Copies of this chain bind each other. A is one copy, B any other.
Amino acid sequence: MEVRDGVVLAIHGGAGTILRERMTPELDREYRTALAGALLAGHQVLAAGGRAEEAVVAAIRPLEDSPLFNAGRGAVLNDDGAVELDASIMLGSSGMAGAVAGVTRVRHPIEAAVRVMTETEHVLLAGPGADRFIAQQGLELAEPEWFVSPHRELQLRQLQAEDVSQVAPEGPGSGHKFGTVGCVALDIAGHLAAGTSTGGMARKAWGRVGDSPVIGAGTWAADETCAVSCTGHGEFFIRKAIAHQIHARMLHGGAGIEEAARGAVLEDLPDGGGSGGCVALDARGRFVAPFTTPGMYRGWIDARGQVTVRIHGDER
């Protein structure tokens, strides 16, 4: 949990109970390879002089395409067996933001969030209306079957059979209900950006929207403080406005990024009964990734392209 220096981009792939006994060597390698690939994709953009938000999109896209993570392909299924995808992005330079909630057809929800930000006067579009906007934008769509992976169908059947409403272990073949992917980036101009993408909560009903598309809850970016992407039980992140809380602890409380992120995630969040984690990066390249869970898929990369990937909480 210590502060890392010189980080230019960091990602998470969800926080939860990641049990070593359920994690085969092959699966462990698949996760680490996917995380490293996303870090390198984002780094490539930054190394070429790209903007922070472009790097965020470049890192999140492969995570959305991977069936390992609860975002895009491989997203959890709602009670009807379909995906409802949420994503958001925010720029530290201008405070501009975009988000979609409950969309069903776009291959890369993070790109839809970008279009809301750049092509409309709005911040958040939801449901069938958001799907119509996406279709008008000509973003790449995918058939419903493309998103559905066998382990998510098994998970849904298990949840429906057991009527489980609690968080279960993370990972394919296990029954985890939550999960998110997210990225924070710092570009050579000194600007920050943050993005988050998720399938939300397994077996969700009634158009439930979690924290990922809620600016201030799951995502925040301000150059003067930090870029944040959160993961965990979303309702608790909304009730505590965790992402904005980290910003506010820095801006109004004078905290550094470590104190602010630890305070919000390790104190405020459990104080409200919540669990999860975040990645947080300031404009000086200082990075922290606090989480309350036994594990969080995470990784970071420095300007030279040095990659670090972690899964369990006890990894140094």
Give the residue among A206, A240, A248, A249 with the most B Cβ atoms within 10 A.
A206
- Interface 1/0s, chain A 100-131, versus B by CB < 8 A? 01100000000000000000111111111110
A220's nearest neighbour on chain B, judged by CB, is B241
Docked-complex contact A130 and B207, CB < 8 angstroms: yes
How distant is the Cα of A216 from the Cα of B123 in the complex, in angstroms? 14
Docked-complex contact A133 and B206, CB < 8 angstroms: yes
Given contacts A205-B129, A207-B127, A209-B125, contact A248 B252 (CB under 8 A): yes
Within 8 A of B (CB), among A197-241: 205-210, 214-217, 220, 234-235, 238-241
State which of B101, B121, B248 has its C-beta within 8 Å of the C-beta of A126.
Answer: B101
Supplied contacts A126-B209, A249-B252, 13 more A-B pairs, CB within 8 Å: A95-B239, A95-B240, A122-B206, A123-B238, A124-B238, A125-B207, A125-B208, A127-B207, A128-B128, A215-B217, A248-B249, A248-B252, A253-B253
Docked-complex contact B128 and A127, CB < 8 angstroms: yes
A234's nearest neighbour on chain B, judged by CB, is B123
Give the residue among A208, A251, A272 with the most B Cβ atoms within 10 A.
A208
Docked-complex contact A244 and B238, CB < 8 angstroms: no
A96 within 8 A of B: yes
How distant is the Cα of A118 from the Cα of B165 in the complex, in angstroms? 16
A20 within 8 A of B: no
The 6 lowest CB-CB distance pairs between A and B, nearest first, are: A129-B207, A127-B127, A248-B248, A252-B253, A252-B252, A216-B241
A301 within 8 A of B: no
A254's nearest neighbour on chain B, judged by CB, is B252
A245 within 8 A of B: yes
A97 within 8 A of B: yes
Docked-complex contact A120 and B206, CB < 8 angstroms: yes
How distant is the Cα of A95 from the Cα of B238 in the complex, in angstroms? 10
Distance to closest chain B CB from A268 (angstroms): 10
Within 8 A of B (CB), among A240-272: 240-241, 244-245, 248-249, 251-253, 272
A201's nearest neighbour on chain B, judged by CB, is B122
Docked-complex contact B209 and A97, CB < 8 angstroms: no
A29 within 8 A of B: no
- Could you say which residues of chain B place their CB within 8 Å of the CB of A101? 126, 209
A209's nearest neighbour on chain B, judged by CB, is B124
A132 within 8 A of B: yes
- Could you say which residues of chain B place their CB within 8 Å of the CB of A121? 165, 235
State which of B125, B205, B216 has its C-beta within 8 Å of the C-beta of A216.
Answer: B216
How distant is the Cα of A217 from the Cα of B101 in the complex, in angstroms? 17
- Could you say which residues of chain B place their CB within 8 Å of the CB of A215? 214, 217, 238-239, 241
Distance to closest chain B CB from A184 (angstroms): 17
